[in-house]
């Protein structure tokens, strides 16, 4: 695959990496968020630190990326500290962790997410998944939360099968504060291979603000089971650059374990 073509996950990874702010602290999930953080640190935000929910603070992961190594020596390589879950979530509760980056099974118009099950009931689910893990604490306590998800109707739903982690709840003013969550916190962006969303300040409803190259607004809306707000000016995201793809394909994920997934897209 040349640099004119890229996978959906490469598009999503690059779009997520560009959102990282330098000199900020991030709670990072396993998999694609790790790769996005690595890419951001190499190209855009060299002084970010990231934290894992089990307590590791500011590791420097050796390349290349290897999946499913949560808690092993590579996950913690040259970390500033290796504490525990209580310690890092107490730091988040005190306001020391700026962003969380999470994936999810489902998301609703107000940024509430489901990571637990789909179909049926909690006692008798249609299909049960791993659950929220530390995502509830991340979505509750970080100042801002970024979600990375594939763009599919079954994922963008008007009502979740189960609320694993809170967004803006019902979207009403002060909804988070009424259940004891910190003020001025909540969902910030949703990144998919097709689009970028924010949350409108007054209604707290998801809003489409940008689309991927060659993707039209109607294509994005067709892959959602609810109608989001749409910005008056929907921008076009830049495709992955040659430098981004080189880092991803030659250094970070050369075996294409994560970034090789998804449909192939082309720049305009």
With 70 as the cut, is the pLDDT of residue 68 above it? no
Residue 142: predicted pLDDT: 96
Contact 175, 108 (CB under 8 A): no
**What pLDDT, in 10s, does the model give residues 101-151?**
998 999 999 999 999 999 999 899 999 988 888 899 999 999 999 999 999
Residue 80 near residue 129, CB atoms below 8 Å? no
Q: What is the CATH number for 209?
A: 3.40.1080.10
Task: Give a yes or no: residue 112 inside a domain.
Answer: yes
Whether 150 is covered by a domain: the verdict is: yes
In a domain, 179, yes or no: yes
pTM (predicted TM-score): 0.93
Cα separations in angstroms, 178 against 96, 162, 181, 182, 186: 22, 20, 7, 10, 13
Catalytic position from the list 8, 53, 223, 244? 53
List the domain range (segments joined by +) for residue 44: 5-263
Q: pLDDT band at residue 71, thresholds of 50, 70 and 90?
A: low
Mean pLDDT of 239-251: 95
Q: CA quadruple 107, 111, 112, 115: dihedral positive or negative?
A: positive
CA geometry: angle at 125 spanning 122 and 128, to 5°? 95
On whether residue 244 sits in a domain, the answer given is yes
Residues 6+ positions from 110 with CB-CB distance below 8 Å: 167, 168, 169, 170, 171, 187, 199, 204, 205, 206
Comparison of pLDDT for 16 and 263, the residue scoring more: 16
pLDDT > 90: percent of the chain? 76
Model pLDDT for residues 191-206, shown as the tens digit of each residue = 999 999 999 999 999 9
149 or 70: which leads in pLDDT: 149
Question: Is 53 assigned a catalytic role?
Answer: yes
Q: Classify residue 268: in a domain, yes or no.
A: no
Question: Would 73 be classed as within a structural domain?
Answer: yes
Domain count, the chain: 1
Give the pLDDT of residue 69. 58
* More reliable by pLDDT, 72 or 55: 55
């Amino acid at each position: 695959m040349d640099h004119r073509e890229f996978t959906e996950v490469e598009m999503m990874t690059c779009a997520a990496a560009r959102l990282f702010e330098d000199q900020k602290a991030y709670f990072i999930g396993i998999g694609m968020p790790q790769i996005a953080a690595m890419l951001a640190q190499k190209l855009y935000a060299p002084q970010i630190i990231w934290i894992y929910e089990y307590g590791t603070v500011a590791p420097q992961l050796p390349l290349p990326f290897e999946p499913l190594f949560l808690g092993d020596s590579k996950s913690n390589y040259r970390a500033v500290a290796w504490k525990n879950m209580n310690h890092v979530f107490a730091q988040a509760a005190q306001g020391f962790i700026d962003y969380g980056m999470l994936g999810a099974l489902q998301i609703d118009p107000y940024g509430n997410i489901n990571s637990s099950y789909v179909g049926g009931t909690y006692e008798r689910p249609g299909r049960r998944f791993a659950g929220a893990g530390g995502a509830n604490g991340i979505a509750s306590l970080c100042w801002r939360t970024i979600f990375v998800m594939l763009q599919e109707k079954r994922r963008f739903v008007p009502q979740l099968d189960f609320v694993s982690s809170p967004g803006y709840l019902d979207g009403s003013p002060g909804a988070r504060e009424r259940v004891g969550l910190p003020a001025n916190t909540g969902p910030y962006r949703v990144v998919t291979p097709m689009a970028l969303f924010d949350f409108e300040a007054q209604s707290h409803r998801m809003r489409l603000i940008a689309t991927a190259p060659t993707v039209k607004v109607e294509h994005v809306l067709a892959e959602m089971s609810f109608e989001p707000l749409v910005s008056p000016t929907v921008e076009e995201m830049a495709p992955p650059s040659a430098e981004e793809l080189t880092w991803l394909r030659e250094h970070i994920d050369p075996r294409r374990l994560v970034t090789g997934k998804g449909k192939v897209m082309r720049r305009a």
